[in-house]
């Protein structure tokens, strides 16, 4: 659990972070979203004391971070950055094992954990003896994540972790991230300027501008109930496609027809599946079935849109 109160960073010529307060609960992912220079990275780096605040309080698990020994604090907090920070002259195995070795883990345990991480992040074991320069950007990014996870920190700080990748790879890795149980169990603060990334990965989003939080809330709250014109305009370009990330099949169920007897080969989806994930899976006129309120319901890509239209109409009216 992270608690931040009235956090400010004043540089001689610039107020980078201006009276920011928020909390991140256990197992929650909070995304700091905003345009370049809005204070996201400065806020993040104050949490692991890479930058010292001018004023304000940061507590990690109930203790003010200023009162902690720096190396102990950093051990509890994994840190993933865009450039991955891998050491080019260390092998992949050595890079991943860096923190466990510093912690003097038993060598056997280090080997087991390294292999476990490679399998989890779908990296072949043959890469153990390769060097970062021999891997693709996406693979390096996975190794960076493996290294941050190696010593099982409860907290992860991620600064544009997918920033160096092309949109297709980004989207694929985002999907993998969301499915990894080990990541879902962490308390995460993630910095990005990519709105879709924020909507896909964030339980809540803090939208920053000029060093201040303009609004903090769930993706749905920010999209449907913007606190001010800045927030409204920030999402305006992608307003329609973002609906696909904030609504699930269950939300659409009142606007879709019942299916009496789903065919045995029908693809069954959990009712909480986001619409964006459904559309990703659907090719052509194929349909999927889900169950909500004791009903079987069928949906196709062609019927998602009119149902979503009706849902939005009702949301706006209410
Ligand atoms: N060492 C410094 N001295 C003076 N100003 C700084 C310093 N570091 C950052 N700033 C300024 O503070 C502001 C916030 O920077 P920060 O890196 O936190 O923004 P950001 O939202 O993370 O942007 P980006 O997405 O480009 O990284 C920027 O205007 C930046 O120029």
Q: What is the DSSP string of 227-258?
A: SSHHHHHHHHTTHHHHHHHH-BHHHHGGGS-B
Higher pLDDT, 171 or 42: 42
Q: Which of ligand 1's atoms lies nearest the C-alpha of 9? A: 12
Closest CA to ligand 1's atom 12: 16
- Tell me the pairing of strands 187-192 and 29-34: parallel
Distance CA 146, CA 180 (A): 12
**How much is the average pLDDT of 184-212?**
94
Q: Which CATH architecture has domain 2-238?
A: 3-Layer(aba) Sandwich (3.40)
Q: How many A from CA of 42 to the centre of ligand 1?
A: 6
Q: How many A from CA of 13 to the centre of ligand 1?
A: 11
29-43, 126-140, 173-187, 207-221 — which is least confidently predicted?
173-187
Distance CA 98, CA 104 (A): 10
Residue 259 scores a pLDDT above 80: no
pLDDT tens digit sequence for 18-75? 999 999 999 999 999 998 999 999 999 999 999 999 999 999 999 999 888 888 888 8
Q: Which of ligand 1's atoms lies nearest the C-alpha of 17? A: 14
**Closest CA relative to residue 192, chosen from 175, 179, 205:** 205
Q: Is 40 in the pocket of ligand 1 (CB under 6 A)?
A: yes
pLDDT of residue 271: 87
pLDDT tens digit sequence for 81-116? 877 778 999 999 999 999 899 888 999 999 999 999
pLDDT of residue 298: 83
pLDDT of residue 260: 64
Q: Is 243 in the pocket of ligand 1 (CB under 6 A)?
A: no
Domain boundaries, the chain: 2-238, 247-317
Mean pLDDT over the full length of the chain:
89
pLDDT of residue 318: 64
Closest CA to ligand 1's atom 16: 39
pLDDT of residue 199: 94
């Amino acid at each position: 659990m992270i608690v931040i109160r009235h956090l400010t960073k004043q540089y001689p010529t610039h107020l980078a972070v201006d009276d920011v307060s928020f909390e991140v609960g256990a197992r929650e992912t909070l995304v700091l979203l905003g345009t370049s220079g809005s204070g996201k990275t400065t806020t993040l780096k104050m949490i692991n004391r890479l930058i010292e605040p001018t004023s304000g309080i940061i507590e990690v698990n109930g203790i003010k971070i200023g009162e902690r020994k720096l190396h102990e604090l950093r051990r509890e907090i994994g840190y993933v950055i865009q450039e991955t920070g891998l050491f080019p002259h260390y092998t992949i195995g050595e890079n991943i094992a860096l923190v466990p070795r510093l912690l003097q883990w038993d060598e056997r345990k280090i080997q087991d954990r390294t292999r476990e991480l490679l399998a989890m992040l779908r990296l072949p074991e043959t890469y153990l003896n390769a060097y970062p320069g021999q891997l693709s950007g996406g693979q390096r990014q996975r190794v960076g994540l493996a290294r941050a996870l190696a010593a099982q920190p409860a907290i992860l700080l991620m600064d544009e972790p997918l920033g160096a990748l092309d949109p297709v790879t980004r989207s694929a890795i985002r999907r993998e991230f969301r499915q990894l149980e080990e990541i879902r169990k962490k308390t995460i603060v993630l910095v990005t300027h990519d709105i879709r990334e924020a909507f896909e990965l964030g339980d809540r989003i803090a939208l920053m501008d000029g060093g201040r939080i303009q609004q903090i809330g769930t993706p749905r709250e920010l999209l449907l109930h913007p606190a001010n014109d800045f927030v409204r305009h920030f999402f305006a370009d992608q307003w329609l496609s973002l609906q696909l990330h904030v609504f699930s099949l269950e939300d659409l169920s009142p606007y879709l027809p019942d299916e009496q007897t789903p065919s045995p080969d029908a693809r069954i989806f959990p009712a909480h599946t986001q619409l964006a994930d459904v559309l990703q899976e659907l090719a052509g006129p194929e349909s999927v079935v889900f169950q909500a309120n004791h009903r079987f319901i069928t949906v196709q890509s062609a019927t998602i849109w009119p149902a979503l239209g009706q849902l939005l109409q009702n949301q706006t009216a209410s």
